[in-house]
Amino acid sequence: MSTRLISPLKRKNSSQYWFRMIVPPRYREQVGKAEIKQSLGTDDLGEARRLCAARQHDWLKKFELIELELKARDTLVGTEAIDGYLNRLSVELGSMDRAISYELEGIALAEADHLECLSLEDLGLKPGDSHPLLGNPYPAYRDSATQALIHSRRDALTAIRKGALSGKEAVERALHLDFLSVTQSTVEEAFEAAGFRVDQNDARFAIAARYLLDRLNEYPLKEAEEMRASWPTPASIAARTVPIAPQAKAHNQTEPASAASAGTAAYDSPLRQRIMGMPTGAMTISQVYEDWAAKQPASARKLCDEWRVSIRRFVELFGDIDVVDVNRDMIIDFREAMARLPTRPKKHVACLPLLDQIDVARDQDLPLLAGATIGKLVTGLRVTLEHAVDPLRLIAFNPGSTVKVKGAKSEVDARLPFTPDELNIIYSDDMRTDPHASFPDSYFWLLMLAPLSGMRIEEMGKLRPQNIRCEKGIWYASIERDSRRKRKAEDAAGIANKGAKTSSSYRDVALHWVIIEAGFLGYVEKQRQARQEWLFPDLEADQYGNRTKKASRDLIKHLRRLGITDQEKVFHSFRHSMRRACRHTSMKEEVADLLAGHAPDSVGRKYGAGAELNVLHKAVNMIEYESLNWAPVIAAAKTRMAKHKTV
DNA sequence: TGAGTTTCAAACGGGCGGGA
DNA sequence: TCCCGCCCGTTTGAAACTCA
């Protein structure tokens, strides 16, 4: 792996410097990507260089941890393959003693083959010269006298049926020299039986070979011990005390650690505890979640509540386990479990444990959670685990980072626009045309504004009287944030403050002439004089600060009563209807986007901060619904407003 | 390695229905 | 009627892909 210092990179369209590092192929599965590209968040080159070096250091550390994890995994694979092989052989031969003897004899034969290594003399080199096969340890036994002794010893022991002893000696020599090739045929056979194919360059080969040699060496073969007493190994061919390269000893240091412990950040200093202001030891998954949730602003309460569901379900399935024990398999199991849960279960099903709910859904063929919901549940888990990575540093990697959810993104909007006939039904109804109908003013105006402004119901619900303004003779509704001071105060009080769906939703919506004609400005003035905080004061906020939950529900019920029973026709359908009406005019798509509060989908279509009010005013007045006769609605609205004046 | 382009994920904001 | 939570849309920035 290259440790060359990486220099920060600057992208054409960005003022910020970036960090970029290629992930070595061996670690890509664990990292989940082939390269790391991260913004350094600075446009200062000096700062960027410093941050870049720090990130490179962090990633190299992470790669080291992955290496440990991979070694642990390889160890498991290698040792299991050898154990399986020896167990099968013992069954085949009748006992483990026989199996070990058989293998020892095989090692002795393999060693004999490898001893035929050319000496310095054979190669025409002088004593003291560097042997070209120095990487191959058997040159240590390259002098012909030693070779002859090993050969004759093996022949003699084999002749008296003590081949296992010569094998034991060969194993000791191979272990001392870390000469793994003597195990080649056995290791290959063991891996093949386990369903793998490895070569001598594979790390798993080395691990399995050393493990085999260790097992053969340590097996208490009574016969061999007794024989050694009778036929002691000649000193000249006993395993020599030769220095072993550090990597040759690595297998002794590679403990079969769990993936999780390999990912655990062992560093847990008092300094970090002081920085974090909390103990930084082990935490369970739900403790990590609570720590994450506690750091979210009041406005994120709904999000926290949704993701608490993820964690609660995960804990129900796997227990409130230490976060270092959470692995990718569990997250995949979690995803699969969520994908099999029934959607909107009846009470008698919802009260069951999750696994029972899955059984019921399967048995009764109930409709299951949508892909988007599964995606969200997995995201909740992923974000919690990310919190364990950074800032808590309880784990080095997020095991959920590479878990995908198919169908998490819906292809189509499930809500449809109203047909002209349906609009006609809605706006011919007594509730709109009879000024004396017992229909709240707020609902009346919501229904008037919706198809002619394209505002979302919650955008209307959060209008304040002062948001209705006039500029150069054009009246408009300003959808904007509250002041920073107000938002800060509300956050501190734990109140969800007034925000919009996205930043592009902050906009000015010019009022359609029908709305002005109907006397909307009189209604606004009335609320202003009454010093009402909200333009529609009779709407009540729910626990998350949503002011139109009930209104939306009531108005949908009302639509159903009018015979519009299609489940895809909802209040939001007014927005779709307006978009459709815009398409029937000469209005440019980007202006329609601005009216609706959508971000344009290409840079070329961006209007900067917005458009001139007169452009929007002209555009909004282009909107027409041919099937609708607004006259009775306007007349009813005027009477409705006049009635208020006389009260 | 750098940069243009495309795709994906996170973080919301919001609509809606079931059930207590 | 209200709460809970499922479900969907949108934007932004990150990540991935591709090519030079």
Residue nearest B16 (alpha carbon to C1'): A553
| pTM, rounded to two decimals | 0.48
Q: CA–C1' span, A506 to B17, in Å?
A: 29
Contacts of A6 (CB under 8 A, 6+ apart): A19, A20, A21, A52, A53, A56
Given a cut of 50, is residue A605 above it in pLDDT?
no
Three-state DSSP class for A322? strand
Residue nearest C11 (alpha carbon to C1'): A502
A271-A273-A279 Cα angle (round to 5)? 155
- State how far the Cα of A264 lies from the Cα of A393, in Å rounded to an integer: 8
Q: CA–C1' span, A172 to B9, in Å?
A: 55
Given a cut of 50, is residue A243 above it in pLDDT?
no
Highest mean pLDDT among A86-90, A196-200, A201-205, A370-374: A86-90
Residue type, A334: F
Three-state DSSP class for A20? strand
Could you check: is the Cβ of residue A38 within 7 Å of any atom of nucleic acid strand C? yes
DSSP class per residue in A522-574: HHHHHHHHTT-SSSSTT----TTS-SSHHHHHHHHHHHHHTT---TT--TTHH
Asked whether the beta carbons of A208 and A79 are under 8 A apart, the reply is yes
Asked whether the beta carbons of A238 and A169 are under 8 A apart, the reply is yes
Nucleotide nearest A500 (Cα, C1'): B13
Given a cut of 60, is residue A119 above it in pLDDT?
no
Given a cut of 70, is residue A621 above it in pLDDT?
yes
Q: Give the bridge partners for A469, in sequence order.
A: A476
Q: CA–C1' span, A346 to B18, in Å?
A: 8
Number of Cβ within a 10 Å radius of residue A202:
16
Instruction: Give the lowest-confidence range in A60-64, A233-237, A440-444, A604-608.
Output: A604-608
**Mean per-residue pLDDT for A448-475?**
82
Could you check: is the Cβ of residue A566 within 7 Å of any atom of nucleic acid strand C? no
Could you check: is the Cβ of residue A567 within 7 Å of any atom of nucleic acid strand C? no
**Mean per-residue pLDDT for A348-374?**
73
Given a cut of 50, is residue A500 above it in pLDDT?
no
Nucleotide nearest A383 (Cα, C1'): B10
Domain ranges of chain A: 65-257, 280-389, 420-646
The candidate with the shortest Cα–Cα distance to A535, out of A589, A608, A462, A482, is A462
Q: CA–C1' span, A14 to C6, in Å?
A: 38
CATH fold of A420-646: hpI Integrase; Chain A (1.10.443)
Q: CA–C1' span, A421 to C9, in Å?
A: 27
Three-state DSSP class for A454? coil
How would you label A263-295 residue by residue, b for 16+ Cβ within 10 Å and e otherwise?
bbbeeeeeebeeeeeeebeebbbbbbbbbbbee
Residue nearest B19 (alpha carbon to C1'): A347
Model confidence over A259-286: pLDDT tens digits?
Answer: 333 233 334 455 555 555 665 567 888 8
Residue nearest C16 (alpha carbon to C1'): A33
Mean pLDDT of chain A: 70
Q: Tell me what pLDDT residue A184 has.
A: 85
Given a cut of 80, is residue A178 above it in pLDDT?
no
Q: CA–C1' span, A319 to C13, in Å?
A: 34
- State how far the Cα of A158 lies from the Cα of A199, in Å rounded to an integer: 30
Given a cut of 60, is residue A487 above it in pLDDT?
no
Nucleotide nearest A540 (Cα, C1'): C2
Nucleotide nearest A496 (Cα, C1'): B13
Residue nearest C10 (alpha carbon to C1'): A502
Could you check: is the Cβ of residue A32 within 7 Å of any atom of nucleic acid strand C? yes
Residue with tokens 């609205």: A637
Q: Tell me what pLDDT residue A197 has.
A: 74
Q: CA–C1' span, A49 to B16, in Å?
A: 50
Q: CA–C1' span, A347 to C3, in Å?
A: 15
**Mean per-residue pLDDT for A594-601?**
58
Asked whether the beta carbons of A513 and A618 are under 8 A apart, the reply is no
Nucleotide nearest A479 (Cα, C1'): B13
**Mean per-residue pLDDT for A394-402?**
72
Q: CA–C1' span, A39 to C13, in Å?
A: 10
Q: Which residue has the higher pLDDT, A111 or A199?
A: A111
Could you check: is the Cβ of residue A37 within 7 Å of any atom of nucleic acid strand C? yes
Residue A641, Cα to own-chain centre: how many angstroms? Answer: 54
Q: Tell me what pLDDT residue A12 has.
A: 40
CA count, 13 A, side-chain hemisphere, A144: 5
Q: Tell me what pLDDT residue A177 has.
A: 72
Model confidence over A290-328: pLDDT tens digits?
Answer: 777 777 666 566 667 677 777 878 887 888 888 888 877
Contacts of A82 (CB under 8 A, 6+ apart): A187, A190, A208, A211, A212, A215
Q: Which nucleotides of C are covered by protein (CB under 7 A)?
A: 1-17
Model confidence over A630-645: pLDDT tens digits?
Answer: 888 888 888 887 776 5
Nucleotide nearest A310 (Cα, C1'): C5
Q: Which nucleotides of B are covered by protein (CB under 7 A)?
A: 1-5, 8-20
Could you check: is the Cβ of residue A620 within 7 Å of any atom of nucleic acid strand C? no
Asked whether the beta carbons of A473 and A613 are under 8 A apart, the reply is no
- State how far the Cα of A101 lies from the Cα of A219, in Å rounded to an integer: 10
Q: Which residue has the higher pLDDT, A231 or A522?
A: A522
Asked whether the beta carbons of A540 and A461 are under 8 A apart, the reply is no
Q: Tell me what pLDDT residue A552 has.
A: 74
Three-state DSSP class for A422? helix
Could you check: is the Cβ of residue A35 within 7 Å of any atom of nucleic acid strand C? yes
Given a cut of 80, is residue A513 above it in pLDDT?
yes
| R_g of chain A, CA atoms, integer Å | 38
Could you check: is the Cβ of residue A44 within 7 Å of any atom of nucleic acid strand C? no
Nucleotide nearest A551 (Cα, C1'): B15
Q: Tell me what pLDDT residue A35 has.
A: 54
